[in-house]
Copies of this chain bind each other. A is one copy, B any other.
Amino acid sequence: MVTTSTLVGNPYQQDCPTRRILDRIGDKWTVLIVGALGDDAVRFSELRRRIQGISQKMLTQTLRSLEEDGLVSRTVTAQVPIKVEYALTDVGQSLRAPLKALEEWSIEHLGSVLDARIAHQEAGA
């Protein structure tokens, strides 16, 4: 016999896959980095340029955790000014599709969301 608690209403357990992934990609920069990487290898400085407003610290930090999770690969080329390139791994690439879906939703519905926000604001006043 099992307790009923886990069988009712399909609850989100503390450590369900959705939550674990959300904890990873749900931060401020991960999604943007994955988007900025795209198909090819990109240098650190170029990434920084593509993602407006990201600090060097957060770019490094987020890239490290993406690498740790096998979503991004890091390639160092020892030359005069050192070159470090980042690229999405296969798993990282596979994340692009769902994120793209989210991006399209954003573009399609942002207007409606902003309208609702203003309407709500006026109603509250």
Contact = CB atoms under 8 A, between A and B. Distances in A.
A26 B29 CA distance: 10
A18 B106 contact: yes
Interface residues of A, number: 55
Pick from A14, A35, A69 the residue with the most CB of B within 10 Å.
Answer: A69
A91 to B, nearest CB: 6
A94 interface: yes
A79 to B, nearest CB: 22
Contacts of A28: 22, 26
Contacts of A117: 68-70
Report, nearest first, the 10 A-B pairs whose CB atoms are least far apart.
Answer: A70-B116, A21-B106, A98-B101, A17-B106, A17-B110, A98-B102, A11-B50, A68-B120, A9-B50, A98-B105
